[in-house]
Homo-oligomer: A and B are copies of this chain.
């Protein structure tokens, strides 16, 4: 299967950020198509994007004419289609551990804190901002406590979540740490996560995928 890889992404979307890391780790040339989640009521709700992704969520990957949706499905598709530079370990047991950590973030933390949820609390239930932010922190803290306990003192954990090579688990964890910091979560409670985050961000692959390094990120204003 040949064809251009195009990732529909928003700089600050942590689900898109996961796939950006995966594309970098696998050294896959690709294009970024920016979908602005806030402008004009959200470009993801426009007819063109909705036809591509009926959930009206980013990311979506186009591979030639193929359309792949859902960040973890995209990462697994990339792994199966381009096996070089693997982001999954070699045994079923280790893959299960990588998938479990990935899903602890991608199922049980992030969807609760997604833009559409926070918009619903604001506009549907009139939840004040401090309570919305406490909500976000609550699920990150509960989830990170569980992830930390799976990572700490576990012989499977190495420099990265699984051994000494970055995997899909790191693709999921690092964007969630970015969100945690953004909402003021005290990361010193999770020393293993903090250590892995530091190790990942040393790598150009993770750096290139960061929100601030995206073509659609707003320009940083120099201090006066």
Residues of A within 8 A of B (CB): 1, 54-57, 66, 68-70, 72-74, 76-77, 80-81, 92-93, 95-96, 99-100, 102-104, 106-108, 110-112, 117, 120, 125, 127, 131, 138, 142-143, 145-146, 149-150
**A57→B109 CA distance, assembly (Å):** 13
**A150→B92 CA distance, assembly (Å):** 30
Given A77-B95, A81-B92, A92-B81: A107 touches B104 (CB 8 Å cut-off)? no
List 21 contacting pairs A-B, 8 Å CB cutoff, sorted by A. A54-B145, A54-B146, A55-B104, A55-B143, A57-B108, A68-B100, A69-B104, A70-B107, A72-B99, A74-B96, A77-B99, A80-B95, A106-B107, A107-B110, A108-B111, A111-B112, A112-B112, A112-B117, A120-B138, A125-B127, A125-B131
Give the interface SS of chain A, mostly helix, strand, loop or mixed: helix
**A71→B95 CA distance, assembly (Å):** 14
